[in-house]
A = this chain, B = another copy of it.
Amino acid sequence: MTSAVAKCSVFIATSLDGFISRTDGSIDWLDEANTRVPKGEDCGYEQFMSTVDALVMGRHTFELARSFGEWPYGHTPVFVLSSRVTSLPGDVPNTVRLSCEEPATLVAQLSAQNMKHLYIDGGVTIQRFLASALIDEVTITRIPILIGSGRPLFGPLSQDVRLEHISTHAFNFGFVQSKYRVIKAPNPLMQPTGHKRPAAD
Instruction: Judge whether A102 is part of the interface by a CB distance below 8 angstroms.
Output: no
How many chain-A residues does the 8 Å CB contact rule pick out? 35
Max chain B C-beta neighbours (<10 A), residue from A156, A161, A164, A165: A165
Is B144's CB under 8 angstroms from A148's CB?
no
A117 part of interface (Cβ distance < 8 Å): no
A16 on the B face (CB < 8 A): yes
What number of copies of this chain does the assembly contain? 2
Are B165 and A168 neighbours in the complex by a CB distance under 8 Å?
A: no
CA distance A160 to B170 in the complex (A): 22
Task: Please report the C-alpha to C-alpha distance between residue A153 and residue B146 in the assembled complex, in whole angstroms.
Answer: 11
**Closest chain B residue, CB of each to CB of A144:** B163
Indicate which residue in B29, B155, B163 contacts A160 across the interface (CB closer than 8 Å): B29
Chain A residues packing against B (C-beta within 8 Å) = 16-18, 29, 130, 140, 142, 144-149, 152-165, 167-168, 170, 174-176, 178, 180
